[in-house]
Amino acid sequence: MSTISNGSLHLLAVPPVPERRERLRDEPVAGDKRVLLAAPRGYCAGVDRAVVAVEKALERYGSPVYVRKQIVHNVHVVSTLEKKGAIFVDEVGEVPRGSHLVFSAHGVSPAVVQGAADRDLQAIDATCPLVTKVHREATRFSRDDFHILLIGHEGHEEVEGTMGHAPERTTLVNSPDDVDTIDVPETERLVWLSQTTLSVDETMETVRRLRERFPHLQDPPSDDICYATQNRQVAVRKIAEGADLVIVVGSANSSNSVRLVEVALEYGAKAAYRVDYASEIRQEWLDGASTVGVTSGASVPEVLVQQVIDDLADAGYGDVKQVVTAEEDLMFSLPKELRRDLNGNQDSRGLGGRTRKLDWQTQ
Ligand code: SF4
């Protein structure tokens, strides 16, 4: 995403909502038309918490509230919060001294936290607790003299934040093919960690190849790929098996949304596309398609999925079956800085919760 200059600020530019195209046409296909709607899909607990944190900060402190980077990787969410008074910036140095600044769900390095403190910013840390868990692992392994092989995508904000917790002791592994060429110091104390939003299958392949090269490689204490990423990949696999087309709602910079397209293709979908908005669905994608799968990434509000369902109904896909592979009701409490300042107006959302895997069922 590019930045635009506005005086001394370099605001993150959000692409406009595409124009509405003509209604999709109901063209005949062989067989009955139907939609398989994946569940779980859409918002995870970390995204929900981060978005609510910005909304609550605006209510409590008034506009503007600054946000470093996109609070979550979704164009619609960012532009909606912008309209409510949030200002998205690239770096803490662009924020006026003393202002309120929210760190995004993807997390930040200790250097960014220090940079905010140096400018007397009132920081609100909306880092997903499951990303914070990886940060803690990186800090602990580094302190215990381990070298860390971090499986993740170069340039992703989460990867930058995690590497910042052990900058001298981390090597990034971008893909299975990287394994043969990465430069790793000679040590018996080697451990792998990962970004939270990767493809489970590809990560396991990377680990397999890492272990071939480094037989003494240690595993992390628990999964770093988070429950939401894993559950959405399992659900998309199930709908992809019988789908002529899979539509994934999610933004181009959303790692877990992009992975859902890849997983759909890998598990049998004849075609799969990612869209930010329903209006991006092209008539020709539906040519000959009787079963259309629909899902969404972890940063996508359900309203965007419903618009896809409505547009597909125009094209004759009014028969919608939900395919449920897990039930989630996890919730995370708001960042502690907000809970403190909302004293008397407590976070009333339930906390904790669980995710229950199902064999799968249709509804
Ligand atoms: S995708 Fe996973 S790690 Fe990322 S915000 Fe959601 S729950 Fe947290």
Ligand 1: residue whose CA is nearest its atom 8? 46
299 is in an annotated binding site: yes
Kindly state whether residue 18 falls inside one of the protein's structural domains: no
> What rounded mean pLDDT belongs to the chain?
92
| 172 and 244, same domain (yes or no) | no
| 313 and 259, same domain (yes or no) | yes
pLDDT range class, residue 354, cuts 50, 70, 90: low
171 is in an annotated binding site: no
| 299 and 269, same domain (yes or no) | yes
Kindly state whether residue 24 falls inside one of the protein's structural domains: no
C-alpha–C-alpha distance, residues 86 and 211, integer Å? 45
Residues lining ligand 1, judged by CB closer than 6 Å? 44-47, 105, 128, 130-131, 196-197, 226, 228-229, 256, 298
Question: Counting atoms of ligand 1 from 1, which one is nearest the CA of 226?
Answer: 2
Kindly state whether residue 3 falls inside one of the protein's structural domains: no
Is the pLDDT reported for residue 77 higher than 70?
A: yes
Is the pLDDT reported for residue 205 higher than 60?
A: yes
Return the percent helix, strand and coil in the chain, to nearest 5: 35, 20, 40
Kindly state whether residue 25 falls inside one of the protein's structural domains: no
Kindly state whether residue 241 falls inside one of the protein's structural domains: yes
| 203 and 306, same domain (yes or no) | no
Closest to 41 measured CA to CA, from 320, 281, 291, 285: 320
pLDDT range class, residue 9, cuts 50, 70, 90: very low
Beta-sheet pairing, 190-194 with 147-151: parallel
Is the pLDDT reported for residue 2 higher than 50?
A: no
Which residue among 94, 158, 160, 328 is the active-site one? Answer: 158
Question: CA 238: distance to chain centroid?
Answer: 20
Is the pLDDT reported for residue 4 higher than 70?
A: no
Higher pLDDT, 137 or 3: 137
Q: What's the pLDDT at 362? A: 66
| 162 and 247, same domain (yes or no) | no
Average pLDDT on 88-102 reads 97
Centroid of ligand 1 to alpha carbon of 132 (angstroms): 10
The total domain count for the chain is 3
Ligand 1: residue whose CA is nearest its atom 7? 46
Write 57-60 long-range contacts (CB < 8 A, 24+).
Answer: 57/100, 57/102, 57/124, 57/338, 58/84, 58/85, 58/86, 60/338, 60/341, 60/342, 60/345
CATH number for position 324: 3.40.1010.20
β-partners of residue 303 are none
Residue whose structure tokens are 């992809």:
240
For 16, which DSSP code? P
Q: Which among 92, 111, 127 is the end of a domain?
A: 127
pTM: 0.92
Check whether the bond before 129 is cis (ω within 30° of 0). no
| 100 and 152, same domain (yes or no) | no
| 112 and 138, same domain (yes or no) | no
Structural domain harbouring 76: 46-127
Question: Counting atoms of ligand 1 from 1, which one is nearest the CA of 47?
Answer: 5
Q: What's the pLDDT at 119? A: 97
Q: Which among 181, 213, 245 is the end of a domain?
A: 213
Token digits of residue 336: 């502690």
Centroid of ligand 1 to alpha carbon of 152 (angstroms): 14
C-alpha–C-alpha distance, residues 299 and 74, integer Å? 6
Kindly state whether residue 19 falls inside one of the protein's structural domains: no
| 107 and 142, same domain (yes or no) | no
CATH number for position 93: 3.40.50.11270
| 162 and 121, same domain (yes or no) | no
Average pLDDT on 41-54 reads 97
Residue 284 annotated as catalytic: no
Residues of the chain with pLDDT > 90, as a percent, come to 87
Beta-sheet pairing, 34-39 with 320-328: parallel
